[in-house]
Amino acid sequence: MESQKTLNKKQVNTALCSIGMSGVVFHAPFIINHPGYHLYAVWERTKNIATEKYPQAKQYRHLDEMLKDDSIDLVVVNTPNITHYKYAKKALNAGKHVIIEKPFAPSTANCEELITLAKEKNKILTVYHNRRYDSDFLAMKNVLDQKLIGEIREAEFHYDRFDDNLSYKLHKEINEKGTGCLYDLGSHLIDQALVLFGWPEYVFADIFSMRPVSKVDDYFEVLLYYKGFRVRLKASYQVRESIPAFVLHGNKGSFIKYRSDVQEKNLLLGRMPDEKDWGTEFETSAGILNTEINGVLIRKKVLSPQGNYMNYYDTLYKSICNNEPLPVTAEQGMDVIKIIEAAIKSSEEKIVIKLI
């Protein structure tokens, strides 16, 4: 992390809108371990988890009351998907910078309204696409940046699980716009594809509920059409045996990688991102590169760079204090929603959707 001496030394008072898994695992550990942030407040309607875990933070029972606190600089909207638009709008109107958990909002129209509002209020609006900072994704990005497999011809990304039961998070199982596997896991895969390959020409998708108990989609396959290559994004809740999460094929070779970023697992165990080896994969998780370089056939293991979600928060701190570029722009978050909406239309009408 860059020395804080180069930055405006303001400490950013930050408030969380939820202290569930998202707050405890994906946000609080990075806020409390970055010297530029102060976990100032938490909205917790009935329980007292925040008081026990983060006694330095103020506890608010009502969002409107928390947003009236002029000491708060940044609000993290890490509540259920269907509330992102409503709560982010409240926070922006209260004059706060805002991080919205992925997915940005249920619709492109919602996203556009929030982007306009943020500009009117002169406040930062960013989306927490943390999977850009996974070690396995960074390994794949390095392979592409270095053209180790030549020109890309085909890519396939998976985010699979095995679960016959409905989620204990009941808000994920309500059949409303913004819920389901495509909005949940698909947001990660779509964002990663857009980071690596840019905007596609067309999209075709198959989305449905595979399990009898499911009221929302629990399977999808999204095919993105690019000039000269194709990108396939897939997720299913009925995959017991793990398969490679990232597959790249080029005109010189291939790269195969299982999902192996260790950050979420370690955060769930209570480990903190200030550890020296944070985000370092096991060597046994190395990807396989099979390619031709300068006429020589090579097949070897490729170790991943360190993953670190702290890089998101560190970049955001520089954005807030020094007006440097955002880690993820609101427009990039909206692009994910545009793809999701096009994929839904494609699946419902059984047609290919033109995007350009």
| Cβ neighbours of residue 331 closer than 8 Å, sequence gap 6 or more | 115
Q: CA 332 → CA 16, 114, 195, 198, 336, distances in Å?
A: 22, 13, 9, 10, 7
pLDDT, residue 4, reads: 38
In 3D, which of 105, 126, 34 has the Cα closest to residue 326? 126
Q: What is the mean pLDDT of residues 294-319?
A: 97
Percentage of the residues of the chain whose pLDDT score is greater than 90: 87
pLDDT, residue 5, reads: 37
Average pLDDT of the chain?
94
Domain boundaries, given as residue ranges, for the chain = 4-129+311-325, 131-307+339-354
pLDDT of residue 287 exceeding 80, the answer is: yes
The Cα angle at residue 270 between residues 267 and 272, in degrees rounded to 5: 70
**CA 281 distance to own-chain centroid:** 19
Residue 254, phi then psi, degrees to nearest 5: -135, 155
Residue whose token pair is 């067309």: 202
Count other Cβ atoms within 10 Å, centred on residue 265: 10
Question: Which numeric CATH code is attached to 4-129+311-325?
Answer: 3.40.50.720
Q: What is the mean pLDDT of residues 328-350?
A: 98
pLDDT of residue 217 exceeding 70, the answer is: yes
Residue whose token pair is 């390994």: 139
pLDDT, residue 2, reads: 41
Q: What is the pLDDT of residues 166-212, one digit of tens each?
A: 777 766 777 889 999 999 999 999 999 999 999 999 999 999 999 98
Q: What is the mean pLDDT of residues 63-71?
A: 97
pLDDT, residue 167, reads: 73
pLDDT, residue 174, reads: 78
pLDDT of residue 6 exceeding 50, the answer is: no
Percentage of the residues of the chain whose pLDDT score is greater than 70: 96
Q: What is the pLDDT of residues 178-191, one digit of tens each?
A: 999 999 999 999 99
Task: Report whether 76 contacts 16 (CB < 8 A).
Answer: yes
| Cβ neighbours of residue 252 closer than 8 Å, sequence gap 6 or more | 148, 149, 150, 151, 291, 292, 293
CATH 3.30.70.20 fits domain 131-307+339-354 = no
Cis status of the peptide bond prior to 103, with omega within 30 of 0:
yes
Q: What is the mean pLDDT of residues 142-158?
A: 98
| Cβ neighbours of residue 337 closer than 8 Å, sequence gap 6 or more | 103, 104, 105, 106, 107, 108, 111
| Cβ neighbours of residue 114 closer than 8 Å, sequence gap 6 or more | 85, 88, 89, 92, 100, 104, 105, 125, 330
Count other Cβ atoms within 10 Å, centred on residue 212: 6
Beta-strand ranges (E) seen in the chain are 12-16, 37-43, 58-60, 74-77, 97-101, 125-128, 152-158, 202-208, 219-226, 229-236, 246-250, 254-257, 287-293, 296-302, 353-354
Q: Which two tokens stand for residue 162?
A: 């095995």
pLDDT of residue 330 exceeding 80, the answer is: yes
Task: Report whether 287 contacts 302 (CB < 8 A).
Answer: yes
Q: What is the pLDDT of residues 219-228, one digit of tens each?
A: 999 999 999 9
Q: How many residues in the chain?
A: 356
Count other Cβ atoms within 10 Å, centred on residue 2: 10
Alpha-carbon distance 241 to 255, whole Å? 20
pLDDT, residue 164, reads: 82
In 3D, which of 21, 166, 220 has the Cα closest to residue 101? 21
Alpha-carbon distance 96 to 15, whole Å? 10
Alpha-carbon distance 183 to 207, whole Å? 11
Q: What is the pLDDT of residues 236-284, one digit of tens each?
A: 999 999 899 999 999 999 999 999 999 999 999 999 999 999 999 999 9
pLDDT, residue 10, reads: 84
User: Given this chain, do its domains 4-129+311-325 and 131-307+339-354 carry the same CATH topology?
Assistant: no
Q: What is the pTM of this model?
A: 0.94
In 3D, which of 67, 123, 76, 122 has the Cα closest to residue 100? 76
pLDDT, residue 170, reads: 67
Q: What is the pLDDT of residues 34-52, one digit of tens each?
A: 999 999 999 998 888 888 9
Is 255 or 213 the better-scoring residue by pLDDT? 255
pLDDT of residue 8 exceeding 90, the answer is: no
Work out the pLDDT band at 165, boundaries 50, 70, 90.
Answer: confident
pLDDT of residue 1 exceeding 50, the answer is: no
